[in-house]
Amino acid sequence: MNLKPEDLKKISEKMEASTNLRSGAGRAKITVHMGTCGIATGARDIMKAFLDELEASGQKDILFTTTGCAGLCSHEPMATIEIQGESPVKYVHLTKEKVKTIFKEHVMNGKIVEESALGRGSERVG
């Protein structure tokens, strides 16, 4: 429970290794929905699963961030994948297994995983 100095060091090393997270531009952006509804249904583990996939891939041009509730609480946990120059795609009812597939197919190869996707576009208007 108690964070030790070595734990904080590990976090810092992980951040340094992921220089992509600090840069302003990336080839792809992964946004995990971290509203109360998302967190209650496992969004933190989904974020961790994406981070594990990123680490394993060694990619440096993928941005990570979080956002709030998209107003589709019954579809949580959700994430939005945006490949540069393409419309964002919302993925719903995520599991660690789905994250692996989405990362491999969509983030790495640009192919939308239709069976897990709700649709293209953003929940925000304007």
Residues in 9-28 that interact with another protein by CB under 8 A:
11, 14-15, 18, 21-22
The answer to whether residue 47 forms part of the interface with another protein (CB under 8 A) is: yes
We find the least distance from the C-beta atom of residue 64 to another protein, in angstroms, to be 5
We find the least distance from the C-beta atom of residue 43 to another protein, in angstroms, to be 8
The answer to whether residue 56 forms part of the interface with another protein (CB under 8 A) is: no
Contact region with another protein (CB under 8 A), list: 44-52, 80-88, 99-107, 110-118: 44-52
Contact pick of 29, 52, 69, 83 for another protein (by CB under 8 A): 69
Distance CA 71, CA 76 (A): 10
Distance CA 50, CA 52 (A): 5
CB within 8 Å of 48: residues ≥ 6 apart: none
The answer to whether residue 44 forms part of the interface with another protein (CB under 8 A) is: yes
Residues in 76-115 that interact with another protein by CB under 8 A:
none
Positions that interact with another protein (CB under 8 A): 1-3, 7, 11, 14-15, 18, 21-22, 32, 34-37, 39-40, 44, 47-48, 51, 64-66, 68-69, 71
